[in-house]
Amino acid sequence: MTGALPELDPVIHAQARLRVVSALATLRADDRIAFPRLQDILRMTAGNLSVHLRKLEDAGYVEVTKTHQGRTPATLVRLTGRGRVAFDDYTAALRALLNGTTNLQEEP
């Protein structure tokens, strides 16, 4: 075989995590989004979003910061540099699969 199929990052590939990373990738590199806003955008329950954010955080793809706005606790989320690179690699691999840029034919 002349070309191998590209690998899709299993951390990002899960549908919910792909939605999270895709949403966060639209922010500028240093921007953060409040957890409730992200939850609203993605239409996910707090528990479900928390589980997926933890998996992404464990991989170093997102940073979750707990702070206060006045006296109110706030949780802010951002995509890390490592997360941006992983998402770029993931989208490039997916494009390669979809565009058929890998050659699956045997060489003569």
Per-residue tens of pLDDT for the chain, all 108 residues: 446 778 899 999 999 999 999 999 999 999 999 999 999 999 999 999 999 999 999 999 999 999 998 999 999 999 999 999 999 999 999 998 888 865 555 555
Over the Cα atoms of the chain, what is R_g? Answer: 17
Q: Are 91 and 6 in contact (CB under 8 A)?
A: no
The parent domain of residue 82 ranges over 10-97
CATH of the domain at 37: 1.10.10.10
Element (H, E) at 105: none
Instruction: Specify if 29 maps to a domain.
Output: yes
- The b-or-e profile of 23-48 (16+ CB within 10 A means b, else e) is bbeeeeeeebbebeebbeebebeeee
For helices 46-58 and 35-42, give the axis angle rounded to 10 degrees.
110
Cα dihedral sign for 21, 24, 29, 33? negative
What's the pLDDT score for residue 99?
87
| pTM reported for the whole predicted model | 0.87
**Total count of domains within the chain:** 1
